[in-house]
Structure 1
Amino acid sequence: MTQQQPQSPAKRSRRIHGAGAFDIRNVIGALLGIYGVVLLISYFLLSPGTDMTTGQAKDASYNLWTGLALALAAIVFFIWTKVDPIKIVEPAPGEAVQAQERA
């Protein structure tokens, strides 16, 4: 049987938390998602127009496929954030002062 060592007061006062909304993956995922939704909306609501050379209607499926790809990339970024969150360890107040004195 192993006994656990008592933790020092400095280790107990450390605070570990996640980056949350400030994680860059959340920002990138939100931007990609917004652009993807805008492209999907434009595919469904806007008329593609006509080609000036042939007089036929243009194919606007690039908005659909690009919008879907951006939305999928946004979902991947959000899942990545949930699966592997960034942990931030804040040192104890006394620890930070000691580290500055040594430098």
Structure 2
Amino acid sequence: MIPINIEFFSEHDLYIAYMPFLKEGGLFIRTAKSFELGSEIELNVLLPDSLEPSLIKGEVCWLTPLGAQNGTPAGIGISFTDDPDKIRHQIETMLARQLNSSEPTLTM
């Protein structure tokens, strides 16, 4: 399992990285590293205004390579597979007003 640490400094940063269209939720992580679809990931996520990070297990379900169209940054989408701290609920509560926004994100 590949460990990744990610910290979100603002709700806006979290909004553009969150992937609510995945069944269990997920996050887009900016990275230039190469990953394969299906790779198991252990995310250590620190949400805005949180004092301690949450551990989430997931798998790579999305790849955006370097040099992608429209200047989209390189990175990977992680689909949550084990969310013991219920971070998806915490994210959706935090972003409740923004989830139906038409503002573009790093995914869709």
Shorter-chain TM-score above 0.5:
no
Could you say which structure has the greater relative contact order, defined with CA pairs below 8 angstroms and 6 or more residues apart? 1
Query: Which structure has greater strand proportion?
Result: 2
The alignment's TM-score, normalised by the length of structure 1, stands at 0.22
Greater helix fraction, Structure 1 or Structure 2? 1
TM-score for both structures, normalised by structure 2:
0.21
